Structure 1
Amino acid sequence: MSEHTTSATTRPSTRKRYKRVAYALLGAGILALWIGIALDRFVLGVALYWAGGIGMGLVQRFSPVELYDERDTTIERKASQNTVNVFAYVFILGTPGGLALEESGVVTLPGEFYGATWTLFAVFVVFGASVLYHKYRS
């Protein structure tokens, strides 16, 4: 007669269970990568890492419950904002500071400094493009 509905108390536990499965698959993939590197089986480790990542994505995509709610979205937004701010300061202050120290002969910068600089630059270009896309799309 009446439809069976999931109670409010079991839904969060179901959500937690699927989240745990998803993150366990990713964790197993990461562990497999490390073991593959340690055993000099890098390609096998990468394949298992990808399998774990794909498994996590499949669980998130096809689970019967919504794994993330508004609280998770708010937490991720704040964490993303903090992360971008930290790396903005590192990029804006660190790059010219490092270059000035090298130019003055105080330090010799390794090649990794320039790679990191270009990586940070690329991250902020993608971030800016994403902001513009979502600003004018909405």
Structure 2
Amino acid sequence: MTTTRPIQSGRRYRRIIYALIGVGIASLLGGMFLDYSLAGLVVYAVTAVGALALTLFLQFGSEIELQDEREREIGRRASDVTFQLFGYLGLVVFVAMFLLEATSQYTMTARAETLLYAYAVICLTWGGIYVVFRYRS
């Protein structure tokens, strides 16, 4: 009887999850391109739900590890850099937009307001989660 190390099984399942997501995205884009948007959306929804269900099962209902410590650290570093990049750029852009609006050189559009609210929700959510993690440890 051969045994498979848990991380090797996790990598196999991770490839399956990525394949499901890829098929879903390709179906959505293909459906939009071929004017079969509903069919593409249905395939996308089914594959996205399947990928999410498989991910949740593997993380919480099995012993299989999807990532090792090195991959987790790379993910954390990439997330930190991405959030800082968009966070600081968004802050500069929105402050500039407020300054331009205050000087009557720019009028905030509904789309810009929606982006501002989304930016605020993301930043406040991150801040709340950070505070919870900070005081739990």
In the superposition, the TM-score normalised over structure 1's length comes to 0.77
Contact persistence 2:29–2:40 (CA under 8 A): yes
Partner of 2:19: 24
Contact persistence 1:30–1:49 (CA under 8 A): yes
Structure 2 residue identity aligned to 1:136: Y
Contact persistence 2:7–2:68 (CA under 8 A): no
Shift of 1:12: 5.8
Is 1:48 aligned to 2:47, yes or no? no
Shift of 1:90: 2.0
Partner of 2:86: 87
Report the Cα distance in structure 1 between the residues aligned to 2:127 and 2:38, rounded to whole angstroms.
35
Counterparts in 2 of 1:1-138, with a 5 A limit?
A: 4=1, 6=3, 14-60=9-55, 61-62=57-58, 65-138=64-137
Q: Matched residues, percent identical?
A: 29
Structure 2 residue identity aligned to 1:22: I
Task: Work out which of the two has the higher radius of gyration on C-alpha atoms and give 1 or 2.
Answer: 1
Report the Cα distance in structure 2 between the residues aligned to 1:136 and 1:14, rounded to whole angstroms.
35
Report the Cα distance in structure 2 between the residues aligned to 1:81 and 1:38, rounded to whole angstroms.
35
Aligned length: 133
Shift of 1:23: 0.4
Report the Cα distance in structure 1 between the residues aligned to 2:110 and 2:84, rounded to whole angstroms.
25
Deviates more, 1:38-47 or 1:87-96: 38-47
Shift of 1:70: 0.9
Structure 2: segments with no counterpart, 5+ residues? none
Distance of aligned partners of 1:37 and 1:6 in 2 relative to their CA distance in 1, 3 Å threshold: same
Aligned residue for 2:121, secondary structure, equals helix
Distance of aligned partners of 1:120 and 1:132 in 2 relative to their CA distance in 1, 3 Å threshold: same
Contact persistence 1:22–1:59 (CA under 8 A): yes
Q: CA RMSD in A?
A: 2.6
Deviates more, 1:99-108 or 1:76-85: 99-108
Contact persistence 2:90–2:119 (CA under 8 A): yes
Report the Cα distance in structure 1 between the residues aligned to 2:135 and 2:31, rounded to whole angstroms.
45
In the superposition, the TM-score normalised over structure 2's length comes to 0.77
Structure 1: segments with no counterpart, 5+ residues? none
Report the Cα distance in structure 1 between the residues aligned to 2:122 and 2:129, rounded to whole angstroms.
10
